[in-house]
Amino acid sequence: MHMTPVVMTQPLTELPGLVQCTCCQQQVLTTTEHKAGMLTWLVCGFVCLFVGCLGCCLIPFCVDSCKDVEHRCPTCQQLLHIHKRL
Ligand SMILES: [Zn+2]
């Protein structure tokens, strides 16, 4: 059996990942930043409706697992990927 080496490009999730930057053409480990996304607003609305507590609906904005994740190149700050929760 002949094995050919395969370059694994891992799919980007909420964790920093190795990608080739489209801007500077370097293999880089992305820097991640959590941004409020669709799911954040949905959870916010849901909490508002069913808990009825105005302060509680802001909780999803403090919970990173409810947010989208932006991946940027650490070298040139190019936005490479947005990991969406929905
Ligand atoms: Zn870059």
The mean per-residue pLDDT over the stretch 56-84 comes to 93
The Å distance, Cα 70 to ligand 1 centre, comes to 14
Per-residue pLDDT of 7-31, as tens digits, reads 556 678 999 999 999 999 999 999 9
**pLDDT tens for each residue of 37-64:** 999 999 999 998 888 777 888 899 999 9
Strand partners, 32: 71
d(CA 81, ligand 1 centre) in Å: 12
Percentages helix, strand, coil for the chain, rounded to the nearest 5?
Answer: 25, 25, 50
The whole model's pTM is what? 0.77
CA 18 to centroid of ligand 1, rounded, Å = 12
